[in-house]
Chain A
Amino acid sequence: MKNIMMRTKNENISKAKKNESNGENSNNNNTDHHFQLPIICDVDSLRKLIRKKTVRVVDVRKAEDYQQEHVPTAVSLPFAQLLEKDMPVGVIDILQDLSIVDKMPVVVYDDTFGALAARVAWTFQYVGHTNTALLEMTFSHWKNQGLETEKKINTFPKSQHSLNVNHNIHADASYVENAKDHPNKILVDARERLNFLTEHIPGAKNIPYTMVGANGNILRNAEEVKRFIENRGISTDSEIITYCGSVGTLSGLAYYALKLAGVKNVKLYSKSFREWKSLGKPKEEFKDANYWDLSAE
Chain B
Amino acid sequence: MKKINTDVSSKHNSVSFPEPNPKWGREEETEVFAQKTKLFRQGKLSEDEFRRFRLQHGAYGSRLQMNYSMVRIKVPSGEITPTQIEKIASLSEAFSIGSAHVSTRQNIQLHWVQLEDVSEVMRGLVEVGLTTREACGNTVRNVMCSHFAGVCPDEEFDATPYAKAIARFFIRNPICQNLPRKFKVNFACCVKHGLVRIADIGLIPVIKAGVRGFKIYLGGGLGAASFIGHLLEDFTPQDKLLPTSMATIRLFDRHGNRENMARNRMRYLVHEIGWDKFQKMVLKERSIVEMTTAISTAKLFDVKIEEGTRELPKTVHTTTKLPMLHKQVTLDSSAYERWLHTNAVPQKQEGYFTVFITLGAGDITANQLRVLARTIRDFSVECTARNTPLQNFAIRYIHIDDLPDFYNRLASIGLANPGALTIASAVGCSGTTSCNLAITNSHRLAKEIQLKFLQLGLDTDDSLRDSTIKISGCPNSCGQHEIATIGFFGGASRIGTAMAPTYTMLFGGSAGEQGELGKAIMRIPAKRVIDTILTIIQLYKQERSSAETLNQWVDKIVRGDGRGSIKNIENMKARLIPVTQLRSVEEDPESYRDYGNDMKFSAKTARGECAA
Q: Which residues of A contact B (CB under 8 A)?
A: 1-2, 5-6, 192-194, 197, 206, 208, 210-211, 214-215, 227-228, 231-233, 286-297
Q: Are A293 and B96 in contact (CB under 8 A)?
A: no
Contacts of B37 in A (CB 8 A): 231
Quick one: which of A206, A232, A233, A296 has the most chain B CB within 10 A?
A296
Option from B2, B34, B94 in Cβ contact (under 8 Å) with A2: B2
Closest to B445 in A: A293
Q: Are B1 and A2 in contact (CB under 8 A)?
A: yes
Please give me the 9 A-B residue pairs with the lowest Cβ-Cβ distance, nearest first.
A296-B363, A5-B1, A290-B596, A289-B63, A293-B444, A288-B64, A231-B116, A296-B99, A294-B433
A188 to B41 alpha-carbon distance, docked (Å): 18
Closest to B95 in A: A211
A228 to B114 alpha-carbon distance, docked (Å): 11
Option from B41, B111, B595 in Cβ contact (under 8 Å) with A291: B111
- Cβ of B117 under 8 Å from chain A: yes
A207 to B97 alpha-carbon distance, docked (Å): 12
Option from A232, A287, A293, A297 in Cβ contact (under 8 Å) with B595: A293
Interface size class of B (residues with CB under 8 A): 35 or more
Q: Are B443 and A294 in contact (CB under 8 A)?
A: yes
Contacts of B99 in A (CB 8 A): 294-297
Contacts of B96 in A (CB 8 A): 193
Q: Are B444 and A290 in contact (CB under 8 A)?
A: yes
Contacts of A215 in B (CB 8 A): 1, 90
Contacts of A296 in B (CB 8 A): 99, 359-360, 363-365, 368
A227 to B434 alpha-carbon distance, docked (Å): 27
A1 to B128 alpha-carbon distance, docked (Å): 13
Within 8 A of A (CB), among B94-114: 94-99, 101, 111-112, 114
Within 8 A of A (CB), among B331-360: 359-360
Closest to A211 in B: B94
Contacts of A232 in B (CB 8 A): 114, 116
Closest to A290 in B: B596
Known A211-B94, A233-B38; contact A293-B63, beta-carbon cutoff 8 A: no
A294 to B447 alpha-carbon distance, docked (Å): 10
CB distance from B348 to the nearest CB of A (A): 32
Q: Are A290 and B597 in contact (CB under 8 A)?
A: yes
CB distance from A205 to the nearest CB of B (A): 9
A287 to B90 alpha-carbon distance, docked (Å): 27
A232 to B42 alpha-carbon distance, docked (Å): 11
Contacts of B224 in A (CB 8 A): none
Q: Please name 14 pairs of A and B residues whose Cβ atoms are closer than 8 Å in the assembled complex, sorted by A.
A: A193-B97, A210-B94, A231-B120, A287-B599, A289-B63, A290-B594, A293-B441, A294-B101, A294-B433, A294-B434, A294-B443, A295-B365, A296-B363, A297-B365
Option from B119, B359, B364, B447 in Cβ contact (under 8 Å) with A293: B447
Known A1-B1, A231-B34, A231-B37; contact A295-B97, beta-carbon cutoff 8 A: yes
Q: Are B443 and A293 in contact (CB under 8 A)?
A: yes
Q: Are B117 and A291 in contact (CB under 8 A)?
A: no
Contacts of A231 in B (CB 8 A): 34, 37-38, 116-117, 119-120
Contacts of A208 in B (CB 8 A): 94
Option from B38, B41, B97 in Cβ contact (under 8 Å) with A294: B97
CB distance from A3 to the nearest CB of B (A): 10
Known: A289-B65, A294-B363, A296-B360. 5 other contacts (CB 8 A): A5-B2, A231-B37, A232-B114, A233-B38, A294-B99
CB distance from A261 to the nearest CB of B (A): 14
Within 8 A of A (CB), among B48-91: 62-65, 90
A167 to B158 alpha-carbon distance, docked (Å): 68
Q: Are A194 and B97 in contact (CB under 8 A)?
A: yes
CB distance from A252 to the nearest CB of B (A): 18
